[in-house]
Structure 1
Amino acid sequence: MARVRMTRNPLVAAAIVLTVAAAGAAGWGGVSRYQASHDDSAAYAQTRDDALAAGEQAVQNMNTLDHQRLAKGLDSWEDSTTGDLHQQLVDGRDAFVKQIQEAKTVSTAKVLSGAVTELDDRAGRAGVMVALRVTVTAPKGKPAVKESRMLGQLTRTSEGWKLSALGQAPVGNTAG
């Protein structure tokens, strides 16, 4: 009969234990990674993050305009929008150009914070609230700084999320 010989070397025993533990950890890590990559909540979170980033950028674009680079600014507005909002901007562009050229203002916006208020991934619609600091500089006088909250509706297009509606968020207690 063959006899199994056991080692009494503690380093060999420790190496075996560490090898088994490492293999177990690698297996557990692989399973966890597979589950996370196939988890619907991870995909939903990515969609939410994409909508928020697009919404914040679009709202910032819509509140930034320089009379010296008017065509570029209005193109940015149009590139950030879709649907009725986009059509309103296209239809009113000539009148708006005239107003801004007369006023000679420069508006710059900075996003302070933003949040997705609703998300319907299947329908391709999302809502965002974005807090902004907008600085308007006229040819004469000091820059005027205003903080505001904007509510935007986004629609997913073949080019990504775009604003389909934009308005001022109510401020203060509106309950009667």
Structure 2
Amino acid sequence: MAGSRSLTRRTRPPSRRLAQPAALVLVAAAVAFCGWSGWTSWQAGADPRAAYAAERDQVLEAGRRHLTVLNTIDGAAAGAGLARWQDATTGPLREELAAGRERARQAVEQAGTTARAGVIEAAVTALDLESGDAQIIAAVEIEVTGPGRAASVERKRFQAGLARTGAGWKLKSFTAIPAVGE
């Protein structure tokens, strides 16, 4: 039968018939998941509680870091330590440190005392995002060493005020809190 067409229709194997719709379902599921993920991520970013929590975490981290700096000084390199003190502060506290810097440097170098601090615990007690003000409290452990004296460890508590600056959160006030019974 030359010239006659076959009346039978060619059919795809069953595995190919199922593969195309399955691929479409997978693509649709992937698109739906991406859309849902983007929407929930956008919602989380728009949540003011999330922004407040993120800022609170930044305040706490900056407060811990700056309190460590202000309680640490190396008797052999007092000038560098005092420069770090100024970098950690802002406002009147920074001005006060700058005014007494040379006198403090001489006293530390003459005594040869070294203090190394670490914040044990800290918490944000107040945070005003609008004004850029915050308060923290912290417990700090300070190891003090010096020529002719054994190392000693002091534990102190501090309340500190922080202000938001162009360079992040910086200490604007710093007060020792006496322990009960002192």
> Smaller-chain TM-score range?
0.7 to 0.9
Map 1:109-124 → 2, pairs under 5 A: 109-124=117-132
Q: Name which of 44, 50, 59 aligns with 1:42.
A: 50
- Tell me the residue number matched to 1:103: 111
Q: Distance in 1 between matches of 2:32 and 2:177?
A: 53
Q: Name which of 140, 160, 179 aligns with 1:132.
A: 140
Tell me the CA shift for residue 79 of structure 1: 0.7
Q: Distance in 2 between matches of 1:43 and 1:164?
A: 23
Q: Check 1:15–1:170 CA distance in 2 against 1; reply closer, same or farther (3 A cut).
A: farther
Q: Distance in 1 between matches of 2:181 and 2:123?
A: 20
For the aligned residue pairs, the C-alpha RMSD in angstroms reads 2.4
- Tell me the residue number matched to 2:3: none
Q: Name which of 81, 99, 121 aligns with 2:89.
A: 81
Unaligned stretches of 5+ in structure 2?
1-14
Please give the secondary structure, in 1, of the residue aligned with 2:155.
Answer: strand
Tell me the CA shift for residue 173 of structure 1: 7.1
User: Is 2:160 the counterpart of 1:148?
Assistant: no
Please give the secondary structure, in 1, of the residue aligned with 2:76.
Answer: helix
User: Is 2:170 the counterpart of 1:166?
Assistant: no
- Tell me the residue number matched to 1:28: 36
Tell me the CA shift for residue 83 of structure 1: 1.1
Tell me the CA shift for residue 19 of structure 1: 6.7
**If the length of structure 2 is used for normalisation, what is the TM-score?**
0.80
Matched letter for residue 142 of structure 1:
A
- Tell me the residue number matched to 2:67: 59
Matched letter for residue 65 of structure 1:
I
Unaligned stretches of 5+ in structure 1?
1-8
Q: Check 1:117–1:25 CA distance in 2 against 1; reply closer, same or farther (3 A cut).
A: same
**If the length of structure 1 is used for normalisation, what is the TM-score?**
0.82
Matched letter for residue 83 of structure 2:
D
Report which stretch shifted further, 14-23 or 120-129.
14-23
